[in-house]
Each structure stands twice: as structure tokens, then as C-alpha cells.
Amino acid sequence: MATFDDYANKYKTIRMERRNGILQLTFHTDGGPLRWGLQPHRDFTYAFADIGSDPENQIIILTGTGDEFSGPRPSGPNRPGGTPRSWDAIYWEGKHLLQNLLDIEVPMISAINGPALRHCEIPLLCDIVLAAEHAEFQDSAHFPSGLVPGDGMHIVMPLLLGANRGRYFLLTGQIIPARQAQELGLVAEVLPKDKLLPRAWELAEQLMKQPPLTRRYARVAITQDIKRKLLDLLGYGLALEGLGALDKEPY
């Protein structure tokens, strides 16, 4: 069982603040918008485990820094190669990152402050999803960059968009603007950026009016089916992604 003091300043890419049981996580890289890489991949995996084991966390808010939620788009093919042993760390963290996220047994709200171009499945797995007007969603780092979309994207996006729209999104590098994302059911509310976090806190305080076990067990009930799908398919997708990444043959 972790306490806030144990992990509040532990992770390089996550700034944390907690007020009255509401924990806000702000993703960043050196104080600016999150630049995806091995560091956040590792940080998120262990941070979600710490957060989920702290009973003082009653509601979680996820947001980003500046005008972007996560990026950047890769500038060229992203095929890390290496060896099976080097891929094993990514495989292990990739499985536990999303499992640990869903094992946080309190309601989660995402306030997507701008484009989510890398790992948009993370904020989209929250129970309430808010987005700034200029936000957009893309899986820029997988198939468009020569990788199998196996980091849970192959599960989450077809689940949220529907099978055909989800596969189209993954295979074409489609960019979905915030308003279209709302129409497609990815996003609940689209707001001006300056109203985004206040609205997230307003909703968090509204949820806090429910009894603690009602909040906790509601989260468990409405995520159980997603967790089952991740258990069945997440490791398989990561393994296929690794096999593809290790292929040295030219295009």
C-alpha cells in the first residue's frame, strides 16, 4: 500500500497534486508537452500501480502540459529492432501499463488539453473524457511508422470506434479532430482550453458526493469487460509488435 508522499515526486514525467482526495496527474517532459519515449512508458507503468494502491485517492484527473497532450509524430520509420531480450522490457511494461491503469479502482477523468498523437488510448480509457477544442487523436507511432499497433491500440480503438472504423483509424493514420471525436463517441465534452480543467474538477467534485464504495465499485463494474479484453489480447498484440519490429528485411 503506497502513500502520496511515497510517489508524489517519484516520476520524472508526471506532476501530481491532490486536494480533498482528488488527484490530478499532469503529464510533461521537462516542464513542456509530453514527448513519448521509454521514460514515460516506464513512469506510467509504475505510477499507475502506486496510485491504485493508495486508498486516499478518491478521484483521478489526467491532463497534459501546454497545448499538446502527447506527441510528437515520428519523423520517419520507427522500427527499434534490437533483440528479443531488449523487447522484453517494452513487452512487460506495455502489458502492465494499461492493466495498472484499469486497476485504479476509482473514477478517472481525462482532460485532454491538445493533440493526443501518441498513445491516445491512455486518456480514452478514462471513465469521463473531456477534450479541448483544438485536440485531435491519431495513432502516429505504430502502423504509419512501420509498427504493428499492438500496444493496446488494437483493442481500445476498435472497441471505442467500432470494429471497422477502429481498423481504418489504425491502418491509415487517420486524424480525428475533437468535434468529430465527440460525434463518434470517443469524447463526452469538447470545451475551450481555459474551461477544460475547471470542468474536470467540477465533475470530480460532483462524483465525490457519492459514497466511497459506490464510486469505487462503479469503476470496477464499468471497466471489467475492458480488463477482460486486455487480459486476452494485450500481450499477444505486444508480441506481434515485437516480432514485426525485429524484422530486418527491407520494405
Cell numbers at 172, concatenated:
491509415
Taking the CB of residue 34, how many other CB atoms lie within 10 A of it? 25
Q: In residues, how long is the chain?
A: 251
Distance (Å, whole) CA 122 – CA 101: 8
SS3 for 210?
A: coil
DSSP 8-state assignment for residue 56: T
**Catalytic hit among 93, 121, 136, 241:** 121
Distance (Å, whole) CA 246 – CA 52: 34
User: Environment class of residue 221 by beta-carbon count within 10 Å: exposed (0-12), middle (13-18) or buried (19+)?
Assistant: exposed
Is 241 catalytic? The answer is no
Distance (Å, whole) CA 111 – CA 128: 9
Q: Which residues are designated catalytic? A: 121
